[in-house]
Amino acid sequence: MDFTSFLKQYFETIGLLYSISWWWAGPIVLFYLFKILWTKYSFNQYLSTLKWVVLEIKPPRNIERSPRTMEQVFAALHGVWSTPNYINKYIRGQWKQASLSFEIQGVNGEMHFMIRCERRFRNFVESLIYSQYPEAEIQEVEDYTHSVPKNTPNAEWDLWGVDFKKSKDSAYPIRTYKYFQEDVTKGMIDPLAELADVIAGLPPGQQIWLQFVVTPEHDKDWQAAVKKVATKLAGKEVESEPLFVFRFFIQAWEVIELAFHYIFSSEIELAAEVKKDEQPLMFKLTPGEQEIIKAVEESIAKKGYRTKMRFIYIGRRDGFDRGFLSGVNGSIQQFNDAMLNSFVHENETKTFANYIWVEPRMRFAQRKIFNRYLDRDFDGPTFVMNSEELATVYHMPDMSVLSPAISRVEAKKGGAPINLPIE
């Protein structure tokens, strides 16, 4: 059979299959195609109805609080999670949970802390911040991303950006704030001190943007994922949940099997099995493995957030210095732990191109990540961070961070005197 005859027979077979199956397969395919298109359309329509606000937080000048304080904020902020009903999902397009974006802007040598959220959550967010940082100052500001042209990169502006991902499963935490401790005085080393120093050295016209777009993860899903990893680390078999129909028969068979085992086994065999199982797990694992299991299991009690992490260095071409990339990457690498987890670049989002059509491919990658940053979307790689991890990478720096980059409240707030005359 020659190639032409083969192609003819191939397409005839396809035509035959289509002629006998279109009447039932066609509607199924069209239904799923309609569902995909409607989901995307309705969700975009839902997003267009949302009202957003950008809040800037100025930390107190004499703050003496560890990132654990911010961890309480992230734990309480998980309360924005909700279960949308069928009307909200299929009619109004609320297919995803509410998202918030915690951002750090470095500009003119100053470090600014921003939160972008829906306007309906503004009072809730502010109350959580004030509850932990009573002397902080929060004010609504214009979106700082509007300070650069929307058509960046162009003849005057350039940028470099990348998305981050975790090198391992999200159940493995990064190096969190409780491991940043000075050996002699036992004082805390603020994890954001290095980033503040990098921002302090920024020349005019250059900016550093760091973005954490988060949405609450359902407790049940997050805890189940962490327990699965912890079970595998402990050397136990991860059992898949059987269907409800078969669950009764499986449990009944286990009872019968166990009964026969104890009836027909000798006392010596049973004693040997008990003795074998009595050996504690801690004696089977190395100290490093024990620390990994402990760190993973501690995540179960914490709230989880689906996270999108982005970094952009943007500025005028005159003075654009890629040397600042090393400083920012170094400040992020301090959160990496070789035994637990690390932040690594997602190469598919990195703004570089080699070999062919370098210039247009570079421009496409730059504008793609720039627009994603402006929209605060979840396109690209995401991972889960618990409340402790988020507080490590985003918190109000301690007063021990003496960098002039941090924009703080100039004066201490105080209440009015009780004997103030009233006219």
pLDDT tens by residue, 390-415: 999 999 887 666 555 566 666 555 54
Comparing 253 with 169, which gets the higher pLDDT? Answer: 169
Same domain? 260 vs 213: no
- The share of the chain scoring above pLDDT 70, in percent, equals 81
Residue 84 corresponds to which tokens in the numbers above? 């949308």
pLDDT category, 423, cuts 50, 70, 90? very low
228 within domain boundaries: yes
pLDDT tens digits for range 167-200: 999 999 999 998 887 766 566 788 898 898 899 8
Residue 299 corresponds to which tokens in the numbers above? 């995540």
262 within domain boundaries: yes
Which range is least confidently modeled, 78-92, 102-116, 210-224? Answer: 78-92
Residue 43 pLDDT: 79
Residue 381 pLDDT: 82
Mean confidence (pLDDT) of the chain: 82
Distance of alpha carbon 180 from alpha carbon 199, whole angstroms? 21
Same domain? 285 vs 309: no
Buried-state track 373-393, b at ≥16 Cβ within 10 A, e below 16: beebebebebbbbbbbbbbbb
Residue 347 pLDDT: 87
Kindly state the greatest CA–CA separation across the chain.
106
Same domain? 158 vs 111: yes
Same domain? 360 vs 379: yes
Residues 6 or more apart whose Cβ sits within 8 Å of residue 56:
112, 113, 114, 138, 139, 140, 141
Distance of alpha carbon 319 from alpha carbon 185, whole angstroms? 41
37 within domain boundaries: no
Residue 417 pLDDT: 47
Mean pLDDT confidence for 340-367: 87
Comparing 410 with 337, which gets the higher pLDDT? Answer: 337
Is 27's pLDDT higher than 70?
Answer: yes
| 195: number of Cβ within 10 Å | 26
246 within domain boundaries: no
Is 284's pLDDT higher than 80?
Answer: no
Same domain? 188 vs 223: no
C-alpha torsion sign, points 177, 183, 184, 189: negative
Tell me the residue range of the domain where 364 lies. 45-217+304-393
Residue 402 pLDDT: 55
Q: How many domains does the chain divide into?
A: 2
pLDDT category, 95, cuts 50, 70, 90? confident
- Let me know: does 111 contact 196? Beta carbons within 8 Å: yes
Residue 52 pLDDT: 93
pLDDT tens digits for range 54-88: 999 998 877 777 888 999 999 999 988 887 777 77
Same domain? 205 vs 170: yes
410 within domain boundaries: no
Which range is least confidently modeled, 99-103, 199-203, 213-217, 240-244? Answer: 240-244
- Let me know: does 395 contact 73? Beta carbons within 8 Å: no
Distance of alpha carbon 334 from alpha carbon 191, whole angstroms? 8
Which range is least confidently modeled, 30-34, 122-126, 135-139, 268-272? Answer: 268-272
Residue 56 pLDDT: 95
Residue whose tokens read 């059992």: 239
Distance of alpha carbon 229 from alpha carbon 238, whole angstroms? 9
Same domain? 296 vs 224: yes
Same domain? 77 vs 180: yes
342 within domain boundaries: yes
Mean pLDDT confidence for 3-19: 77
Mean pLDDT confidence for 125-139: 92
Distance of alpha carbon 289 from alpha carbon 281, whole angstroms? 11
